[in-house]
Structure 1
Amino acid sequence: MSATDDKPGEFVEALAKGIAILEAFDASHPEMTLSEVARRVSLSPAAARRSLMTLEALGYVGRRDKRFHLRPKLMALGSAFYVTAQIDEILREDLRGIVDEFGDASSVGALDGEDVIYVAHVSVQRARRAAAVTGARYPAYATSMGRVLLAGANDEALDRYLSQVEMVKLTSKTCTNTKALRAEIMVARREGYATTVDQLDYGITALAVPIRDPDGRTVAALNTSGYTGIVTPDQLISERLPALREAASHIGHQLTRYPMLRTALAG
């Protein structure tokens, strides 16, 4: 389900390499040498160097003591989507409502290949765990939103995902068995929600529901999460599911007024 699985004739390899390099920087790799970048994106040192020099000249990458890092100019690319899609106006009001009522955190995510990208996030937490910030991406199989989004996919797309995804044990509780994961996704499809406990990181218990466009297609997911041990999946379902579904329905109806966001979420 990679974005480059079916390359059109106009596919520009050099551009793809540059974007891959930008995506290689993360919290675990905020700075990298040329050789480290090349290894991360499976490029030759020469190809990685050409891309890095171009990105540096454009102002998206900086260099200090032979180590490369991202520069603030890169934020303009993400903020362009954020502004044109009117994320603040459409999504944050509902997320804030959920957090104001229940505390903890709430997010909206969309499926991108094998990952969930967090499109919007509101939180009152300051936890030492996986950061669910806007722009973060995590494996779909290990998140409640990912399972809801996979449940909303057609059978062909789901089969393709399950046959291609490489599942890694992120915690001792992470489900990496294809048959078991499919069963969980089928439950989410039937029930209209998904819960996870310590799948992505220890301390995260989450509940997610689909956000559907006016045609009934699942285009995004909305979640609420709290600390494992303080909240349980049953508590989230009994206490928060109605409000979560109401917010998801409101966002879905809002998509008719904001075609840019609808198009972006639907891919």
Structure 2
Amino acid sequence: MNDQVISRDHVGSLERGLAVLEILARHPSGMTLTEMAAEAGLTRAGARRFLLTLTALGYATRSGRLFALSPRLLTIARTWLQSASLWSHAEPFMREVAAAVNESCSAAVLSEQDVVYVARVPGRRILSVALNVGTRLPAWCTSMGRVLLSELPEAELRAFLRRADIIARTVKTITDREALAAEIVRVKEKGFAVVDEELEIGLRSIAVPIRNRSGAMVAAINVSTQPGRFSIDDMEREILPRLRNAARAIEDYFVVQ
């Protein structure tokens, strides 16, 4: 009965339009009509209708033959994030961590092969990686990503690692899939992750999970720093307890819901 209702109410054109948006998001430099048709599995006429509709509504822009996303989606995402009560509740605790260690504090969720930043309190120190709410980074080489991946059952984790586009971001990046699987298992055992210059040289981070009242992991929270500021031992001694305290305070949100 439920399947019949879902099938009857399913709007195929909306699904295809959202797929076009997602494809545009993966190609920030823009796409031609032909490229969109090929990647979305549409006819040229169908791709043209979707792209022109998105452009007319302000969700896409057109420059010559290229179509690209407009900033309007950022406005929608920002509105949602600002109204998301969990992250409104989390921000003061994240600010306490950032102020205590004089570094940035961020939160992210897992989305396909990436983590997506949903909250961030910037530190005073400038890193070359531009990180903001909505930023996507590879889950397999980030501390929050490894924390989130550690929640996956073994079969799902191995499936993720098989399909992930794993490349060396630095000379320290772990790219061997077996080694990555073993590292993520260690993260699960320890309850936190440290990633040392695998995403970018000069960038070191530590992350812990955030869980809901049933114990399921819903996000991760981290602190990013530089090797000259904190050794790994320093991070585990000085930053990890603060992160864990903040995570527990954020998790209290679920208790009172």
**TM-score class, shorter:** 0.7 to 0.9
Q: Which structure: larger Rg?
A: 2
Q: Structure 1 residues 50 and 181, CA, compared in 2 at 3 Å: closer, same or farther?
A: same
Give the aligned partner of residue 254 of structure 1: 253
**Does residue 58 in structure 1 map to residue 68 in structure 2?**
no
Is the Cα contact below 8 Å between 1:21 and 1:41 reproduced in 2?
yes
Residue identity matched to 1:127: L
Q: Structure 1 residues 228 and 51, CA, compared in 2 at 3 Å: closer, same or farther?
A: farther
1:231-250 alignment, distance < 5 Å: 231-250=230-249
Structure 1 residues 32-41 or 208-217, which shifts more? 32-41
Residue identity matched to 1:103: N
1:79-118 alignment, distance < 5 Å: 79-118=78-117
Give the aligned partner of residue 204 of structure 2: 205
Partner Cα separation in structure 1 for residue 12 and residue 232 of structure 2: 45
For this pair of structures, how many residues does the alignment match? 250
**Does residue 177 in structure 1 map to residue 176 in structure 2?**
yes
Partner Cα separation in structure 1 for residue 168 and residue 182 of structure 2: 18
Partner Cα separation in structure 2 for residue 255 and residue 96 of structure 1: 20
Q: Which runs of 5+ in 2 are unaligned?
A: 1-5
Identity %: 35
Q: Which SS does the other structure have where 2:255 is aligned?
A: coil
Is the Cα contact below 8 Å between 2:33 and 2:48 reproduced in 1?
yes
Give the aligned partner of residue 128 of structure 2: 128
Is the Cα contact below 8 Å between 1:99 and 1:123 reproduced in 2?
yes
Structure 1 residues 99-108 or 147-156, which shifts more? 147-156
Let me know the Cα RMSD of the aligned residues: 2.6
Q: Which runs of 5+ in 1 are unaligned?
A: 1-7, 259-267
TM superposition shift of 1:158: 2.1
TM superposition shift of 1:172: 2.3
Q: Structure 1 residues 39 and 91, CA, compared in 2 at 3 Å: closer, same or farther?
A: farther
TM superposition shift of 1:180: 0.5
Residue identity matched to 2:55: E
TM-score using structure 1 length? 0.81
Partner Cα separation in structure 1 for residue 41 and residue 195 of structure 2: 33
Partner Cα separation in structure 1 for residue 87 and residue 181 of structure 2: 34
TM superposition shift of 1:47: 4.1
Q: Structure 1 residues 162 and 56, CA, compared in 2 at 3 Å: closer, same or farther?
A: same
Is the Cα contact below 8 Å between 2:107 and 2:219 reproduced in 1?
yes
Partner Cα separation in structure 1 for residue 87 and residue 182 of structure 2: 35
Residue identity matched to 1:252: E
TM superposition shift of 1:107: 0.7
Q: Structure 1 residues 233 and 51, CA, compared in 2 at 3 Å: closer, same or farther?
A: farther
TM-score using structure 2 length? 0.84
